[in-house]
Amino acid sequence: MITIKKIKLNELQEFVNSIDYHKLIDKPISLARVISYLNNPNANGDDVVLYMAFVELDFIGYKTIFSDTFIYNNCKTKFGWLSGTWTHKNYRRKGISTLLLNEVLIDWDENLMYTNYAEESKAVYDKTDKFSLLKSNKGYRHYIRFSFKELLPPKFHYFRKNIKILKYIDATLNLFGDLRFKLLNTKKKSNYTICKLEDWNDEIISFIEPFKKKELFKRDEIIYDWIAKYPWVKTDSETKKLSEQYYFSNYSIKFSSNWYIIQEIKTQKIIGIALITINNEHLKIPYIYAIAANLPCLKDLIIKLCIEHKISYLTVYNTDLNKLILEQNFLKIVSRKFTQNYFCSTKLVSGLPYNNVLEILNGDGDVVFT
């Protein structure tokens, strides 16, 4: 007989401190994610955030949810992101994930969204006929260094056993390929400065306000600060050890999530703000606030960070910024079109306008934390 155990947010800390949690070979939630959940400004203590399935004492599957809100027609709506689904290999294709999802649908009154999904999870969601596509963001993934060791093992079993060979190939190709960066004049004199944003102030808040009129989620500085301070990926040795028991993004050799502010030197006027995340060799820009005319400044920062951190590929969804990068012939090896889809429950989407009217940025959802 299958039983389901539910953990509310106000029970989460006690659960991960318990003997029951430590005895689990497969962890249903990481400690970094727990800390992030507990500091989520959009959550409350009664939100059910973790669902676990058991057969007698055997732990066989789980789903995690994190709380969020969106604002439409000046009305704030609470909902949950489907974020993290796992079923033990001995119980797959036996309806465990569907059973857990049905409980989530009931508890969250079908107010759910998801993105950054595995195809297996989407297949479960599709069977319910309770979700539809809300928004499809088109972008590019630009490969600027060779990284076969990152790209091939997840796709081909053969390469999982030959990562050392792939590392050698990458190192050899990049030894010569990186010479092209000298052709990029990243130290040219400019009329702007770029620095990390330490504290949100009224000037910065006023700058981003006009950009937010068409946004569905309309994040504020409290949410932005939470995102940057409480990522789900850590770089310490303890997290590395625990990552063997947790099947989602949790540990990286290198990880950073920082807001950058661009200002004119003469006037100190703000002309752009962006959140830039670096996870090992991957750079992402979840949030960009700048008009097209000022995006070359951000492009220069991206090139600088790519060279400094030996970034292998970057993912960009801003149309104007992609045009600038595509024109930078010496920067990229190849660029591929990339899409991020956002799905929403039928109940929620029925009250929203056609998706082309909405602006959903690629920091919206769980992808921004990794």
Examine the domain organization and report whether 8 and 86 are in the same domain.
yes
- Cα–Cα dist 225/244, whole Å: 29
- pLDDT value of residue 229: 94
Examine the domain organization and report whether 115 and 260 are in the same domain.
no
- pLDDT value of residue 113: 97
- pLDDT value of residue 152: 76
Is residue 327, in this structure, part of any structural domain at all? yes
Examine the domain organization and report whether 124 and 171 are in the same domain.
no
Number of structural domains (the chain) is 2
For the beta carbon of residue 130, count every other beta carbon within 10 angstroms. 16
Is residue 64, in this structure, part of any structural domain at all? yes
Examine the domain organization and report whether 70 and 164 are in the same domain.
no
Question: Which of 72, 97, 129 lies at the terminal end of a domain, its last residue?
Answer: 129
Tens of pLDDT along the chain (370 residues) come to 899 999 999 999 999 999 999 999 999 999 999 999 999 999 999 999 999 999 998 999 999 999 999 998 888 999 999 999 999 999 998 999 999 999 999 999 999 999 999 899 999 999 999 999 999 999 999 999 988 877 777 677 676 777 788 888 888 888 878 877 776 655 566 789 999 999 999 999 999 999 998 899 999 999 999 999 999 999 999 899 888 899 898 999 999 999 999 999 989 999 999 999 999 999 999 999 999 999 999 999 998 999 899 999 999 999 999 999 999 887 888 899 999 999 999 999 887 876 566 799 999 999 999 9
Is residue 172, in this structure, part of any structural domain at all? yes
Rounded to 5 degrees, what are φ and ψ at 8?
-80, 165
Is residue 82, in this structure, part of any structural domain at all? yes
* Edge-to-edge strand list for the sheet holding 334-345: 2-8, 48-55, 58-72, 75-87, 112-114, 334-345, 131-143, 313-316, 282-289, 270-279, 255-264, 192-196
User: Beta strands 313-316 and 334-345: pairing type?
Assistant: unpaired
Q: Hey, which residues does 70 pair with through a beta bridge?
A: 77
Examine the domain organization and report whether 96 and 177 are in the same domain.
no
Question: Which of 71, 99, 129 lies at the terminal end of a domain, its last residue?
Answer: 129
Is residue 149, in this structure, part of any structural domain at all? yes
Examine the domain organization and report whether 124 and 143 are in the same domain.
no
Rounded to 5 degrees, what are φ and ψ at 352?
-110, 155
Examine the domain organization and report whether 149 and 116 are in the same domain.
no
What DSSP element (H or E) covers 341? Answer: strand 334-345
Residue 14's CATH number: 3.40.630.30
The SS3 call for residue 354 is coil
In terms of residue numbers, what domain contains 119? 2-129
Q: Each residue of 37-63: b (16+ CB within 10 Å) or e?
A: beebebbeeebbbbbbbeeeeebbbbb
Helix ranges (DSSP H) in 7-95: 9-16, 19-23, 31-38
- Cα–Cα dist 347/103, whole Å: 16
Is residue 85, in this structure, part of any structural domain at all? yes
Examine the domain organization and report whether 148 and 295 are in the same domain.
yes
- pLDDT value of residue 22: 93
Examine the domain organization and report whether 341 and 319 are in the same domain.
yes
Q: Which two tokens stand for residue 307?
A: 């060279």
Is residue 134, in this structure, part of any structural domain at all? no
Examine the domain organization and report whether 116 and 230 are in the same domain.
no
Examine the domain organization and report whether 29 and 168 are in the same domain.
no
- Cα–Cα dist 187/29, whole Å: 44
- pLDDT value of residue 39: 98
Residues 6+ apart with CB under 8 A from 301: 194, 260, 262, 274, 276
- pLDDT value of residue 189: 67
Examine the domain organization and report whether 110 and 164 are in the same domain.
no
Is residue 197, in this structure, part of any structural domain at all? yes
Question: Which of 129, 153, 173 lies at the terminal end of a domain, its last residue?
Answer: 129
